[in-house]
Amino acid sequence: MDIQAIKQRFGIIGNSPLLLRALDIAVQVAPTELSVLVLGESGSGKEFFPKIIHELSARKHSNYVAINCGAIPEGTIDSELFGHEKGAFTDAREARKGYFEEANGGTVFLDEVAELPLSTQVRLLRVLETGEFLKVGSSKPQKTNVRIVAATNVNIPEAIQKGKFREDLYYRLNAITIQVPALHDRPEDIPLLFRKFSSDTSEKYRIPPLELSAEARELLTAYRWPGNVRELKNITEQLTIIEKDRLLSADALQRALPDEARHSLLPVLQTRPDQNGMTEREILYSVLFDMQKDIHELKRFMAQELNRKEEPHLNTAYTILPAEHGQGGITPYPTAAEPKPVRETRTVSDVISDVDLGTLEPVEEDLSLGKREQALIEQALKKHAGNRRKAAEELGISERTIYRKIKEYSLLK
């Protein structure tokens, strides 16, 4: 069975290479009897892979038992997994079969396996090594023929170092590893999942599905989704029901995101080269450096002239050159020299008289590129009355980039 057929059969959505690779491993390992360890963040869809492995194996006609190890109290988990004999403990009024006995001949999926107590891990290791287990309150070993697929979002090597997980059990479970990618590692799949969840919700409640605006799509893929597919589904269903406008805006999407998680929407500047071989970041920084250099040169010159205002050469003529004659600025030359092309000739005294001396401060260089970048973007937005497209054209960057920078510097009002 090919991957596309697997996706259709189990309702898996996405074309990310990482997802396709995980599915391919599941298909290849399914016909074997090897134990499989499925790793991935909570909500990333780990539960699909044990089902795929079971349905494509020779055990598909036998029982498939899924067990959430973190949801069973520590005091009863041995009884739940392996069963107990009558009288084994206070409430044991009759003998009971455990999951491993019920699943004989089939597959057992141990979700959140790292939550098992150490004593239960010893019992599980015996099942993996010999196919035997002991019921609680019994000394007679029983046989079971099960295939074990385990899953966890815990860093097991770290848990081993902390003494919370047995190393020998880890290597028994880890015959084959399937790494399920987190949602933020497959951004190309996020709009597809949003469309699917919105369509399912609209069909269920007989309302039109949501469409994503360009800015909302950008925001949707920029968000990190710590709850992965589960979080995306919940937010999509919520927006599909409560939003009146069927074209979802970025503002509406942002309001639906958790307040404590919005800071994760940190943008990444595009490094796509322009026609001159420079990136947008390089162009922006080049402009900022040029502006900074001109401002500091002018401040330095004015400070020097104020310190020398009592010296005889104070009345030396100075020319303010227009921009077309070079870098522009204030250029001194003797008044007796051969005339140069000027727009206006003034003495230093004239220039100083126009300057508010109270505003002069010691020259301090602020080398924070972020602050310079923020100031430049604020000026462009102010000039164009908040129009991002025109501000982006003014700065020579893309509209997508300026939108991300606005988010980074919290410039939205």
The reported pLDDT for the residue numbered 73 is 92
The DSSP symbol for 136 reads B
**pLDDT of 206-263, one tens digit each?**
999 999 999 999 999 999 999 999 999 999 999 999 999 999 999 999 999 987 545 5
CATH T-level topology, domain 3-181: Rossmann fold (3.40.50)
Q: Enumerate residue ranges in the chain where pLDDT < 70.
A: 260-294, 296, 305, 307-369, 412-413
Query: CB neighbours (10 Å) of residue 83?
Result: 23
Q: What percent of the chain has pLDDT over 70?
A: 75
CATH T-level topology, domain 271-305+372-413: Arc Repressor Mutant, subunit A (1.10.10)
- As a whole number of angstroms, the distance between CA 148 and CA 59 comes to 12
Cα atoms in the Cβ-side hemisphere of radius 13 Å centred on 355: 17
The reported pLDDT for the residue numbered 223 is 93
Backbone angles phi, psi at 143, to 5 degrees: -95, 145
Task: Supply 341's token pair.
Answer: 């092309």
**Numbers of helices and strands, H then E, in the chain:** 17, 12
- As a whole number of angstroms, the distance between CA 400 and CA 409 comes to 15
Cα atoms in the Cβ-side hemisphere of radius 13 Å centred on 148: 26
Query: So where are the chain's domains?
Result: 3-181, 185-264, 271-305+372-413, 308-355
Task: Supply 396's token pair.
Answer: 């020579």
3-class SS of residue 134: coil
- As a whole number of angstroms, the distance between CA 221 and CA 216 comes to 9
Strand boundaries in 153-229, DSSP class E = 176-179, 211-212
**pLDDT of 123-144, one tens digit each?**
999 999 999 999 998 889 999 9
Show Cβ contacts of residue 215 under 8 Å, excluding neighbours closer than 6 positions. 249, 250, 403
Q: The domain 185-264: what is its CATH number?
A: 1.10.8.60
Task: Supply 237's token pair.
Answer: 């269903």
Examine domains 185-264 and 271-305+372-413 and report if their fold is the same.
no
